């Protein structure tokens, strides 16, 4: 308690060197300090490392491809959903596919993430301060060293090998930069999207969205997207606008369980952030008929 008070005094005095040293001393004694609007609190330190923020996730974007495929999952709670999703991935995906789990902020799923990471096919990352969807997803992408990076939502549960068909899309067609489970197309007037595919599509949804790492690093995810909804559509159009290649959708052996991001998020927050992203999308792309796939 005394060390935590001394650290608070050091932070107030903007002596961040002393603050960091005291934080490390507190951690060595098995505790973590959490700072909030109402002051600090102490929590028992978990049996895994927790990074202070998304900026501390190691960046490997300058490194060459070192494996074939990574499936990246954002974890924001709902531990049993995480377990179901990862167990299915490990059962059905090829053995050389690595799963990376990022606990985005301290949640009730940290222990399950750590348990799953005991598998040599699962890597864990934990950050104290939650980041927006775009920033967290970009950190996962920059951390990756695989030729193909797969964004996947924990509500998606594989019922067979969905990864091999995705990888085959890249192997068979060099101009494909993205492949996924659910494709969409702009409805006339740009007011909404409708389901599209299989085949080439205007945009892919993030339930399962595989992308060539080289292309993804060249076109960052929308950093202003705090919430997932519509951000995958925006990124799809950014990728296609860059002229790097095509997006394709395909039928995959998967199901979608309850989508917590939509159904269990505060409706006011969900609708506000979704509208902000869609408004930004419209400001940039509305009327860009050159990016439409009109038959």
> Mean pLDDT, to the nearest integer, of 249-278?
96
The pLDDT value recorded for residue 117 is 98
Contact criterion met (CB below 8 Å) for 67 and 96: yes
Domain spans of the chain? 2-44, 54-291
Confidence band, pLDDT 50/70/90 cuts, at residue 9: confident
Lowest mean pLDDT of 19-28, 234-243, 260-269, name the range.
19-28
**Residue 45: what pLDDT?**
75
- Give the residue, 34 or 129, on which the prediction is more confident: 129
Q: How confident is the model at residue 295 (pLDDT cuts 50, 70, 90)?
A: low
- At residue 95's C-alpha, the angle toward residues 93 and 101, to 5°, is 65
- Which range has the worst mean pLDDT, 35-44, 131-140, 149-158, 194-203? 35-44
| Residue 290 scores a pLDDT above 90 | yes
Angstrom distance (rounded) from CA 136 to CA 254: 24
3-state secondary structure of 215: helix
Q: Please, what is the Cα angle at 179 between 174 and 180, to 5 degrees?
A: 170
Give me the pLDDT at residue 294, please: 75
pLDDT at position 189 is 83
Query: Could you tell me what percent of the chain has a pLDDT over 90?
Result: 80
The string of pLDDT tens digits covering residues 268-286 is: 999 999 999 999 999 999 9
Domain 54-291 fold is: Spore Coat Polysaccharide Biosynthesis Protein SpsA; Chain A (3.90.550)
Least confident of 15-19, 97-101, 121-125, 240-244: 15-19
**Residue 230 and residue 247: Cα distance in Å, rounded?**
16
**pLDDT tens-digit map of 68-111:** 999 999 999 999 999 999 999 999 999 999 999 999 998 999 99
168-226: per-residue pLDDT in tens?
A: 999 999 999 999 999 999 987 898 899 999 999 999 999 999 999 999 999 999 999 99
Residue 287, class by beta-carbon neighbours within 10 Å (0-12 exposed, 13-18 middle, 19+ buried)? Answer: exposed
* pLDDT of 148 above 90: yes
Asked whether the predicted pLDDT for residue 1 surpasses 70, the reply is no
pLDDT (mean) for 241-267: 96
pLDDT at 8 over 90: no
- The model's pTM: 0.88
Find out whether 6 and 20 touch, Cβ atoms under 8 Å.
no
pLDDT tens across 154-172, in order? 999 999 999 999 999 999 9
**Residue with the two structure tokens 């650290």:** 7
Give CA–CA dist 223/226, Å, rounded.
8
pLDDT averaged over the chain?
A: 93
């Amino acid at each position: 308690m005394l060390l935590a008070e001394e650290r608070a005094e050091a932070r107030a005095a903007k002596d961040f060197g002393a603050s960091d040293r005291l934080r490390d001393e507190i951690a060595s004694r098995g505790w973590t300090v959490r700072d909030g609007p109402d002051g600090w609190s102490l929590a028992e330190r978990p049996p895994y490392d927790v990074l202070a923020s998304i900026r501390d996730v190691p960046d490997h974007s300058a490194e060459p491809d070192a494996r074939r495929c990574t499936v990246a999952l954002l974890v924001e709670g709902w531990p049993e959903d995480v377990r179901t999703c990862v167990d299915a991935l490990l059962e059905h995906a090829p053995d050389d596919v690595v799963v990376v789990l990022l606990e985005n902020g301290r949640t009730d799923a940290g222990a399950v993430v750590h348990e799953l990471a005991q598998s040599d096919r699962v890597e864990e990352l934990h950050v104290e301060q939650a980041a927006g969807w775009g920033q967290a997803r970009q950190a996962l992408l920059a951390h990756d060293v695989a030729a193909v990076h797969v964004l996947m939502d924990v509500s998606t549960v594989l019922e067979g090998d969905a990864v091999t068909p995705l990888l085959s899309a890249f192997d068979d067609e060099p101009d494909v930069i993205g492949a996924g489970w659910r494709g969409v197309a702009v409805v006339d007037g740009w007011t909404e999207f409708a389901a599209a595919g299989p085949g080439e599509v205007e945009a892919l949804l993030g339930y399962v969205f595989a992308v060539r790492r080289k292309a993804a690093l060249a076109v960052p995810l929308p950093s202003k997207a705090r919430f997932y909804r519509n951000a995958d559509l925006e990124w799809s159009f950014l990728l296609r606008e860059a002229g790097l290649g095509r997006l394709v959708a395909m039928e995959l052996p998967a199901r979608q369980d309850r989508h917590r991001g939509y159904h269990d998020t505060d409706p006011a927050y969900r609708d506000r952030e979704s509208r902000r992203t869609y408004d930004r999308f419209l400001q940039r792309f509305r009327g860009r008929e050159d990016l439409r796939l009109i038959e």
